[in-house]
Amino acid sequence: MHVYGEHYRTIWMKEDNPNVVQIIDQRHLPHKFVVENLVTVDDVSAAIKDMHVRGAGLIGATAGFGMYIAALNAPADSFMESLAADGEKLKATRPTAVNLAWAVERQLDAVGAVTGDVHTKIQTARETAQAIADEDADFCRRIGEHGLAIIKKISQRKNGAPVNILTHCNAGWLAFVDYGSATAPMYAAHDKGIKIHVWVDETRPRNQGARLTAWELGQHGVPHTLIADNVGGHLMQHGLVDLVITGSDRTTYTGDVGNKIGTYLKALAAYDNGVPFYTALPSSTFDWMMRDGIKEMPIEQRDSTEVKYIRGKVNGEIKQVLLTPKDSPAANYAFDVTPSRLVTGLITERGICEASEEGVLGLYPEKRKKDVNNDQ
Amino acid sequence: MHVYGEHYRTIWMKEDNPNVVQIIDQRHLPHKFVVENLVTVDDVSAAIKDMHVRGAGLIGATAGFGMYIAALNAPADSFMESLAADGEKLKATRPTAVNLAWAVERQLDAVGAVTGDVHTKIQTARETAQAIADEDADFCRRIGEHGLAIIKKISQRKNGAPVNILTHCNAGWLAFVDYGSATAPMYAAHDKGIKIHVWVDETRPRNQGARLTAWELGQHGVPHTLIADNVGGHLMQHGLVDLVITGSDRTTYTGDVGNKIGTYLKALAAYDNGVPFYTALPSSTFDWMMRDGIKEMPIEQRDSTEVKYIRGKVNGEIKQVLLTPKDSPAANYAFDVTPSRLVTGLITERGICEASEEGVLGLYPEKRKKDVNNDQ
């Protein structure tokens, strides 16, 4: 997508030196656009652990490139041992990130299968890293194409008047390698000249909407308006939202959507006002074992300081300020689960399906027999 | 209620000098507790206009005391003219505050009816100001008593385990003279030894929950936990909320509740999870002419800087920081309307009624014939 008019992905090999991997250090957004060089496995570990990069797709891609950097630095006489040790180091940075472990294993398998010399092994690690990134971008691009059809239809119904889309959190290209999940249909529509306008939930307490989604939409030139998380219901009551699209952190094969805290409230409002509510996700986000999202999905509780303090810019500096009485306790549930009955459909890289076991397994029939924890 | 262990109202005459009116300058909360002296009408005007005081009940009481200060300072030879001019000045500070104009008119009527000398007139203005404040406190106290019954019942059902109550915004004693509206039942329960715990919505963008409700509950010793506005739905899904109580800025005689933006989303979640949702309000908040709140209630749009910037404390100083891309547009709808179908009941100074025309007019039968804009 575009940043200051230039095309960017969230991670790439430096043009004039492919031994250097570059990322956008997202901690500084939206106030500063910082590109960071990664040249050691420690650089990569810190980037993942300290959230210079975040989002399932991007974490996976970063781990993929991390293993390429590990290969570049591995001694020839203990190449695979070194690679495996670095893989463990990378996996430990965010132990719950499924894509991270998956990317590390994929690299170990690919490089381990190489029979040639160290140079060939490094070449394979490099190609695998690039393939992981390209596949992520390609899945998102396809999500965009499928979602585009929904936006196009609404645009036609409105005779070309802007389609108002509400989104929550950042399921944007910053969370993946390119395009994003929830944002992919928006970028696809915008790039095709279909008029859209995005209501961006600020997404307390970490403000991913206010900091990241507003920034990336603004950089790509997509008309948008930032709102407090409290506002969406009122907008829907008054016909100011045509469509909701969110991402997902984990979706059950029965269609229950785990996503950033507050998503459920927007889904309720959409349902109450007849506004279609879609979730966009690559199939890696499906949990093929979980049947009841509300009962079974573990919800992370994060530190209360994220609620009580906030970072912002004042006089050119980034400061953290206290918002609350110093001693008031605060709770910080990070995710909630939207039951499938409130979800109009799921937009995946294979197409759009109903948020139901029938719908999901219809698109992914290969999951029907072997993996699914099916009661029948 | 209690502040640092001492009893306070939000406005009072100085104990050793009744010519001075004192308020809590709420702009400094929760970081500093500042008591301000009001001795001129300009002091009072500034206090209302610049929101040292806020909330319908407290604005009314402040205007009442403002007219007393006006009487203290009025020249004997043009006493009523001076009083009327000061009344206009006070009314202009927040033109849409119904209680403000009402308190000014009540003072002009009361003082105008006095046949005695200036001293007697001042005495009347003083007594009227005190009466307005006392009545506000008394209405809230009675709301507390009626609401207490609801909490008591839940407490019994839970065998004395803490009753979890969620509230949005600040409909606390800081918005009135004492007790508050939504908080009155909570204080009544707490003071009676019934165990409660309050989930306090931070209430973006102006953070009245995080700044004011958390502060006043903490000062009075009521167990509470601050949460982002996004969290309530998740809590209700998991049985962690027994009861929602909010205040109201305007409620139609048919039971549609206008309140701080985001109230509607909590009402939807309460309804979806079978959690009772009550609104507490003194009857001065009813709009006896409005039938359809969603269609008819005007919703104020405030400045977008309230969404993009926030004030907080850093190194002992209060700073305003930028949260968003500098150029991203933001919208700031201040209120929303919760349709009566989602409201379990209304807690008023006369008792609890259904959120319906039938229910409201049953409690206020004197409104049945003359005032109501009734289609039948």
Q: Which tokens hold the place of B63?
A: 């205007």
User: How confident is the model over A179-198, as pLDDT tens digits?
Assistant: 999 999 999 999 999 999 99
Confidence of residue A371 (pLDDT cuts 50, 70, 90): low
> Which residue in A295, A323, A326, A327 has the most chain B C-beta atoms within 10 A of its own C-beta, making it the best mutation to test that interface?
A323
The DSSP secondary-structure symbol of A93 reads T
Q: Out of B231, B324, B331, name the one closest to residue A231 (CB).
A: B331
The pLDDT value recorded for residue B235 is 98
Q: Which residues of chain B have pLDDT under 70?
A: 370-376
Residue B249 known to be catalytic? yes
Parts of chain B belonging to CATH 1.20.120.420: 2-135
Q: Out of B304, B321, B328, name the one closest to residue A224 (CB).
A: B328
Please compute the mean of the pLDDT values over residues A90-109 and round it to a whole number: 92
The pLDDT value recorded for residue A370 is 59
Please compute the mean of the pLDDT values over residues A95-124 and round it to a whole number: 94
The pLDDT value recorded for residue A373 is 56
Q: Would you tell me how many other CB atoms lie within 10 Å of the CB of residue A297?
A: 19
Q: Between the CA of residue B213 and those of A273, A307, B223, B315, B318, what are the distances in Å?
A: 31, 15, 12, 23, 19
> Whole-angstrom Cα distance, residue A58 to residue A22?
12
Task: Give phi and psi for A288, each to the nearest 5.
Answer: -80, 0
The answer to whether B200 and B226 are in contact (CB under 8 A) is yes
Tell me how far apart the terminal alpha carbons of chain B are, to the nearest angstrom: 45
Cβ–Cβ gap B272/A269 under 8 Å: no
Nearest residue of B to residue A29 by CA position?
A: B325
> Which residue in A230, A266, A327 has the most chain B C-beta atoms within 10 A of its own C-beta, making it the best mutation to test that interface?
A230
User: How confident is the model over A308-319, as pLDDT tens digits?
Assistant: 999 999 999 999
Place of tokens 């006369």: B350
Cβ–Cβ gap B202/A314 under 8 Å: no
User: How confident is the model over A208-252, as pLDDT tens digits?
Assistant: 999 999 999 999 999 999 999 999 999 999 999 999 999 999 999
The answer to whether A304 and A333 are in contact (CB under 8 A) is no
Q: What is chain A's Cα-based Rg?
A: 21
> Whole-angstrom Cα distance, residue B309 to residue B304?
9
Parts of chain B belonging to CATH 3.40.50.10470: 145-369
What ipTM describes this predicted complex?
0.94
User: How confident is the model over B95-146, as pLDDT tens digits?
Assistant: 878 889 999 999 999 999 999 999 999 999 999 999 999 999 999 999 999 9
The pLDDT value recorded for residue B376 is 44
String of DSSP letters for B156-200: HHTTTPPEEEEE-S--SGGGSSSS-STTHHHHHHHHTT--EEEEE
Residues facing residue A14 across a β-bridge: A17
CA A369 to chain centroid, in Å, comes to 29
Contacts of A235 in chain B (CB under 8 A): 333
- Look up residue A159 and give its amino acid: N
- Look up residue B282 and give its amino acid: P
Q: Where are the beta strands (DSSP E) in B222-293?
A: 224-227, 243-246, 250-252, 257-260, 277-280, 286-287
Counting one residue from chain A and one from chain B, the pairs whose CB atoms sit within 8 A come to 218
Cβ–Cβ gap A323/B210 under 8 Å: yes
> Whole-angstrom Cα distance, residue A343 to residue A355?
6
User: How confident is the model over A28-44, as pLDDT tens digits?
Assistant: 999 999 999 999 999 99
Q: In whole numbers, what is the pLDDT of chain A averaged over residues?
A: 96
Contacts of B333 in chain A (CB under 8 A): 227, 231, 234-235
Residues facing residue B119 across a β-bridge: none
Please compute the mean of the pLDDT values over residues A4-21 and round it to a whole number: 96
The pLDDT value recorded for residue B370 is 60
At the top level of CATH, the class of B145-369 is alpha beta
Cβ–Cβ gap B314/A323 under 8 Å: no
The pLDDT value recorded for residue A376 is 44
Query: With an 8 Å Cβ cutoff, is A331 touching chain B?
Result: yes
Instruction: Return the closest-CA partner of residue B230 out of B190, B192, B203, B191.
Output: B203
- Look up residue A360 and give its amino acid: V
The answer to whether B35 and B25 are in contact (CB under 8 A) is yes
> Whole-angstrom Cα distance, residue A175 to residue A54?
6
Q: What kind of fold does domain B2-135 have according to CATH?
A: Four Helix Bundle (Hemerythrin (Met), subunit A) (1.20.120)
Residues facing residue B346 across a β-bridge: B279, B353
The answer to whether A195 and A186 are in contact (CB under 8 A) is no
> Which residue in B230, B257, B259 has the most chain A C-beta atoms within 10 A of its own C-beta, making it the best mutation to test that interface?
B230
The pLDDT value recorded for residue B97 is 80
* Residues of chain A by 3-state class (helix, strand, coil), percent to 5: 45, 20, 35
Confidence of residue A354 (pLDDT cuts 50, 70, 90): very high
